[in-house]
A and B are shown apart, each in its own frame.
Chain A
């Protein structure tokens, strides 16, 4: 296992090992098309007879829909049809988003458009279809809807109080899910502890802002009885199943195509009522219907995330050894759990991940997931990780401070030893192999701690407050069916790849994982070129079409490289073996004595060129009559991969943040940031580094800027890019990325996920850095985002 030759393992430079592409920074194939504006996004697809949808969205957080009068809207030039919830209910079934393995979880039936009640401001209520989007918007403006505003349930703290409005009376209360994980004797550990410290943390509700808004074009062909959906999604096969089920069709009659997708971050892996409505309207009308969410709609209807309040306690002995964590998490998820992944997973992840990097015995963590009249929340990049890491690392720093121990030393004393694996964490997570101490050592090679501490002391004399903060983290990647499948969700943990050779010797690879701009197709091309033995340029990768690619889960939870990549590698190797069998017959040589190097069949020992693949292709496809009758010649191979030994391939890492806090204005300047992470085998260092950098930026964004702010009536106030602040390049720090490679033994490729590491650890590292800067002033912040107002309040200035 893991005996694949890499440049390092055989002592060659990467450039000296022919067609060894795994581990090399090579450009990705789709870059020119993306930067030259020649990509094909869903909105670029323009079939004949296309009509456009716009939605009237609820102006109230909670209101009864008394009547909908569409007479005036139907008179607007260009308007074709108006659909209400009742209209769509005739052709589309409602759904309920629960998972069986989340015991006791409940949620209400959700229709594409509600039948009688709107439950968040921004919920789509009535659809207008017209021959242009502008005309559809004119139609929406002409709709007359009579509302009866109802009291809204907004506060997560009072959601379960007896006098609080119950959003779905059929559920009895506003509780969606609760779970407690307990291990050891927490009460005794706290009673016997040398020190106990505690804090309450807030992680502000925020959202993923994709460059390309959610987009869908659904086309129902009445003659064929087929539905073709162009969709900006991460999971085309899952959506195929969803559309089929809700629209009462066979899965085989639904085709989902996602061409280019302009960013996702988890936002585009969920079932959105407006998108299902579009598919239902296409079926009802028998013509193509398009909907592209604009930025206003995105802010009120894309899933939000991370609306948590977490109370945490840590118990330590006199040497700083962690004895116990005791954590109470509460989160608000909007009025419905989101289909089909559910909105309880984030809280569940907090329970699974708190304390993750550390070796300790006693653990208690409860999550309480409640309904509220705000935009639904669901899985967003690094689901639950930044929350768990913030709580864990915030408490570890507080304990270190209470004991007078340096934060680095505190971590060194408590991180799980690198030789302790396999290891099972208190909440039951199984770790195959992590590298916390190696990662810490690598980080300390990169961060000039002594120089920074000297500068910090010097600057303090001048009234300049700088701080250095650290955050260790674990990351859940390569999920097995234990994530969703065991709960009854039709979400594939397995993925497949088909690799074929065409007559000219070129290779085509079809994969069930998907590309949203992060470079999935780039790494698949490297893996296939490496596995078959051809130049990169000879490989074409196709993703995002349920009709042509092998069935798979798509791209989420960091599985593209680890799962999709392994399937691609195995099918490439199988194709190579088949090619060598044919080559052996043609060259009258034993297949084992041959190899493929840069598209040439060569003698394995001498690397003497024997025949180009194009010649083999010519013979197989055009002159098969010259080959032995019984010779197998299947120049197309398909393999699937699913993890079997571990429910998840955990990865780990550590980050450091160096900041300056302007204590007069409360502004935080990000000076420098470091991250060392271990994603197992690195396939493309450039892409992994960029994934980590992008993840850090997204983590810093949530910790410093991004916030979905509501008023007391439940209206979202941050609905433009001027009010919802995303991190911009001018404010981002210099970032340094390092790696430790601990490949998973579950696959030949050995790759684990890398996409969420940056986001998982950045907020906690930043929080600890700010608090390090504020320490001499006896101020501390634990509520994200760390705005100037909050920092000034912590300083007692305002």
Chain B
């Protein structure tokens, strides 16, 4: 199918973006990497009157360390994220996640802001951002506000973004020596959306698990922070019994829907397998082997 006819405006400052948004309201859509929006236009699932191209807005770019936080500009493309040394040092979970995101052509254009704003429940980055306990920096004509990543994703393809607001950046707490992180997923083919995935962070302090954040994707309406599994792990020594306890507790955290790949039971099972695989990587033996 062909795109419906629409207008195009290229903004170079946030003020310009806000002015165009105010002028056109719901008829305007922001265009960043375009990896989702342009496909929905071609499917004629959305028919905006105006695309506001924000890729020239300098304020939305860049990765920097600021006050103990890693600030990642919304226009950071997946490929940039994957090769950035600051990200590799301070948020290695994101570096590890990038190869799972679709294919190189998509990673070269897609942006972190776009992925988070679209909030696909099977996407990697929303789960990682929640696992990293990050903060979303949202900008509008009224100024900036900050929302915890865990509160940002509110439902299927729904976020806390208000009309006239956009994602300016993500602020990620930097990793410490005690930090551990992993992302694992099961996808039919490399680059496919995951049938089930898990992004996790925790601290290992003297072999004891602190602040575990197991976040599942592809098994719900958005990234699923597994409260019960996390509670089962908090304060325990990391060992096979702890992992088994997390797997057992997980049943109460997940309520997956059937999809083309299989029934809910399969998704629950895969989430358990991924829990085992991700946490096993932090076991001392595995660390020694690595």
- Docked CA distance A137–B5 (Å): 11
Contact B266 A731 (CB under 8 A): no
Q: Which residues of B contact A141 (CB under 8 A)?
A: 44
Q: Which residues of A contact B262 (CB under 8 A)?
A: 787-789, 792, 798
- Docked CA distance A662–B261 (Å): 16
Q: Does A705 contact B (CB under 8 A)?
A: yes
Contact B189 A722 (CB under 8 A): no
Q: Does B89 contact A (CB under 8 A)?
A: no
Interface residues of A in 742-798 (CB under 8 A from B): 787-789, 792, 797-798
Contact A665 B263 (CB under 8 A): no
Interface residues of B in 189-205 (CB under 8 A from A): 189-193, 195
- Docked CA distance A357–B263 (Å): 39
Contact B266 A134 (CB under 8 A): no
Q: How far is the CB of A57 from chain B (nearest CB, A)?
A: 11
Q: Which residues of B contact A792 (CB under 8 A)?
A: 262, 266, 269
Nearest-CB residue, chain A, relative to B269: A798
Contact B44 A788 (CB under 8 A): no
Q: Does B288 contact A (CB under 8 A)?
A: no
Q: Which residues of A contact B162 (CB under 8 A)?
A: none
Interface residues of A in 107-139 (CB under 8 A from B): 132-134, 137-138
Q: How far is the CB of A274 from chain B (nearest CB, A)?
A: 15
Nearest-CB residue, chain A, relative to B261: A789
Q: Which residues of A contact B2 (CB under 8 A)?
A: 132-134, 137
Q: Does A148 contact B (CB under 8 A)?
A: no
Contact A787 B261 (CB under 8 A): yes
Q: Does B273 contact A (CB under 8 A)?
A: yes
Q: Among B189, B190, B193, B263, point to the contact of A705 (Cβ < 8 A).
A: B189
- Secondary structure of the A contact surface, majority rule: loop
Q: Among A132, A134, A667, point to the contact of B186 (Cβ < 8 A).
A: A667
Q: Which residues of B contact A667 (CB under 8 A)?
A: 186
| B44, B265, B266 — most chain A CB neighbours (10 Å) | B266
Contact A798 B4 (CB under 8 A): no
Q: Does B260 contact A (CB under 8 A)?
A: yes
Knowing A134-B3, A137-B44, A138-B4, the reply to whether A798 touches B189 (Cβ < 8 A) is no
Q: Does A445 contact B (CB under 8 A)?
A: no
Q: Which residues of A contact B273 (CB under 8 A)?
A: 664-665
Q: Among B1, B3, B190, B260, point to the contact of A731 (Cβ < 8 A).
A: B190
- Docked CA distance A138–B6 (Å): 13
Q: Does B270 contact A (CB under 8 A)?
A: yes
- Docked CA distance A788–B189 (Å): 12
Contact B186 A665 (CB under 8 A): yes
- Docked CA distance A717–B260 (Å): 8
Contact A725 B189 (CB under 8 A): yes
Contact A728 B186 (CB under 8 A): no
Q: Which residues of A contact B44 (CB under 8 A)?
A: 137, 141
Q: How far is the CB of B49 from chain A (nearest CB, A)?
A: 15
Q: How far is the CB of A728 from chain B (nearest CB, A)?
A: 5
Q: Does A1 contact B (CB under 8 A)?
A: no
- Docked CA distance A133–B5 (Å): 12
- Docked CA distance A718–B261 (Å): 11
Q: How far is the CB of A556 from chain B (nearest CB, A)?
A: 30
Q: Among A294, A666, A717, point to the contact of B1 (Cβ < 8 A).
A: A294
* Residue total for A at the interface (Cβ-Cβ under 8 A): 29
| A664, A718, A723 — most chain B CB neighbours (10 Å) | A664
Q: Which residues of B contact A482 (CB under 8 A)?
A: none
Q: Which residues of B contact A725 (CB under 8 A)?
A: 188-189, 192
| A141, A294, A709, A728 — most chain B CB neighbours (10 Å) | A728
- Docked CA distance A666–B270 (Å): 9
Q: Which residues of B contact A727 (CB under 8 A)?
A: 189
- Docked CA distance A107–B289 (Å): 66
Q: Which residues of B contact A421 (CB under 8 A)?
A: none
Q: How far is the CB of A292 from chain B (nearest CB, A)?
A: 11
User: How would residues 233 to 266 of chain B score, 1 for a CB under 8 Å from any chain A CB and 0 otherwise?
Assistant: 0000000000000000000000000001111011
Q: How far is the CB of A368 from chain B (nearest CB, A)?
A: 28
Q: How far is the CB of A696 from chain B (nearest CB, A)?
A: 17
User: How would residues 21 to 41 of chain B score, 1 for a CB under 8 Å from any chain A CB and 0 otherwise?
Assistant: 000000000000000000000
Q: How far is the CB of B262 from chain A (nearest CB, A)?
A: 3
Interface residues of A in 696-711 (CB under 8 A from B): 705, 709
Q: How far is the CB of B101 from chain A (nearest CB, A)?
A: 14
Contact A730 B189 (CB under 8 A): yes
Q: How far is the CB of B214 from chain A (nearest CB, A)?
A: 18
Contact A134 B190 (CB under 8 A): no
Q: How far is the CB of A715 from chain B (nearest CB, A)?
A: 13
Contact B5 A134 (CB under 8 A): yes
Nearest-CB residue, chain A, relative to B196: A665
- Docked CA distance A42–B270 (Å): 46
Q: Does A296 contact B (CB under 8 A)?
A: yes
Nearest-CB residue, chain B, relative to A729: B190
- Docked CA distance A137–B191 (Å): 31
- Docked CA distance A246–B188 (Å): 44
- Docked CA distance A709–B260 (Å): 8
- Docked CA distance A667–B187 (Å): 9
Contact A728 B189 (CB under 8 A): yes
User: How would residues 713 to 725 of chain A score, 1 for a CB under 8 Å from any chain B CB and 0 otherwise?
Assistant: 0000110001101
Contact A788 B263 (CB under 8 A): no
- Docked CA distance A709–B261 (Å): 10
Contact B193 A722 (CB under 8 A): yes
User: How would residues 141 to 158 of chain A score, 1 for a CB under 8 Å from any chain B CB and 0 otherwise?
Assistant: 100000000000000000
Q: Which residues of A contact B4 (CB under 8 A)?
A: 134, 138
Nearest-CB residue, chain A, relative to B186: A665
Contact B269 A797 (CB under 8 A): yes
Q: Which residues of A contact B265 (CB under 8 A)?
A: 798
Contact A722 B261 (CB under 8 A): no
- Docked CA distance A793–B26 (Å): 47
Contact B190 A730 (CB under 8 A): yes
Contact B1 A137 (CB under 8 A): yes
| A133, A137, A730, A788 — most chain B CB neighbours (10 Å) | A788
| B43, B191, B262 — most chain A CB neighbours (10 Å) | B262
Nearest-CB residue, chain B, relative to A52: B2
Interface residues of A in 650-688 (CB under 8 A from B): 664-667
- Docked CA distance A709–B195 (Å): 17
Nearest-CB residue, chain B, relative to A719: B43
Q: How far is the CB of A138 from chain B (nearest CB, A)?
A: 7
Contact A789 B193 (CB under 8 A): no
Give me the 3 closest cross-chain CB pairs, A-B, nearest first.
Answer: A789-B262, A134-B2, A730-B190
A-B pairs with beta carbons under 8 Å apart, 16 shown:
A134-B3, A134-B5, A137-B44, A723-B260, A725-B189, A727-B189, A728-B190, A787-B188, A788-B186, A788-B195, A788-B262, A788-B266, A789-B261, A789-B263, A798-B263, A798-B265
Hey, which bits of chain B sit against chain A, CB under 8 A? 1-5, 43-44, 186, 188-193, 195, 260-263, 265-266, 269-270, 273
Q: Besides A665-B273, A725-B188, 16 other CB < 8 A contacts?
A: A134-B2, A138-B4, A141-B44, A294-B1, A296-B43, A705-B189, A717-B260, A728-B189, A787-B262, A788-B266, A789-B262, A789-B263, A792-B266, A792-B269, A797-B269, A798-B265
